[in-house]
Amino acid sequence: MSDTQPVIKPKRPIYLDGPHSRLYELRFAWKVFMQILSANRALYFVGPCITVFGSARFPEGHPDYARAREFGKRISDMGFTVMTGGGPGIMEAANRGAFENGGRSVGCNIRLPMEQKPNSYMQEWITFDYFFLRKAMLLKYSYAFIVMPGGFGTLDELFNTLTLIQTRSITQFPVVLFGKEYYQPLIDMFKKMLSQDTIQSQDLDLLLVTDDEDEAMNHIDSYISSNYEVMKKRRPFWWLFERKFPFR
């Protein structure tokens, strides 16, 4: 790694004294609350989801774009909603596969200075200012997770999901790590962690590493059908100004 990478300077002076003013902190808390409320209202009726994670930088024509698009189609064939981070690349491809198949397609977008804008293959999405809120909503409505090749953000989402499953903070849902060659160094790291007793073998019981789309979908389908009942459709209340999801 180069030692000459540019340093990004703050736009205003930063004083290293801990919290900001009380009014600033109150505004921050209110903004967080309003984004949670908006996300719940936007996504409450989307139905049970399967979340697809992956790089924002793979264009149409990349092999993994085509695979993610196929995953989107097959998820919609199962009757699930495709949930993604709402941006380009793998996210767009998965949303596109469901959208073009007549299925339900939603996203949790993030406001960034570059690279991220909502793709055009979603019936519903919300844009967040904070990654921690976005990650919470990417997990909240999903019964399974497919992790395709990606960068720091994808790994962040993968380890966040695995940590919450390991600590029983969320239900034991299956995770598919798709791309054996790409993720081989990570698999080797998992093996080292097992050998050093920093994780236990059961922590990886629900993690499937594969290059086979059929194996991935069969793993998800068999686990969900054997262990869970999909929640019944919820009815919107007119007096809360709620509206039905377009494809419910």
Sheet holding 207-210, edge to edge: 124-128, 105-110, 81-84, 49-53, 142-147, 175-178, 207-210
Give the model confidence (pLDDT) of 131-164 as tens digits: 999 999 999 999 999 999 999 999 999 999 999 9
Amino acid at 25: E
Contact 128, 112 (CB under 8 A): no
The rounded distance, in Å, linking the Cα atoms of 51 and 98 is 12
What does pLDDT average to over the chain? 89
Contact 40, 99 (CB under 8 A): no
Strands (E) across 38-93 are located at: 49-53, 81-84
Residue 3: which pLDDT band, with cuts at 50, 70 and 90?
Answer: low
Domain boundaries, the chain: 22-229
pTM of the model: 0.88
* CATH topology for the 22-229 domain: Rossmann fold (3.40.50)
179 vs 104: CA distance, rounded Å:
25
The mean pLDDT of 18-29, rounded to a whole number, is 86
pLDDT at 101: 97
Residue 129: pLDDT over 80:
yes
Is pLDDT at 248 greater than 50 in this prediction? no
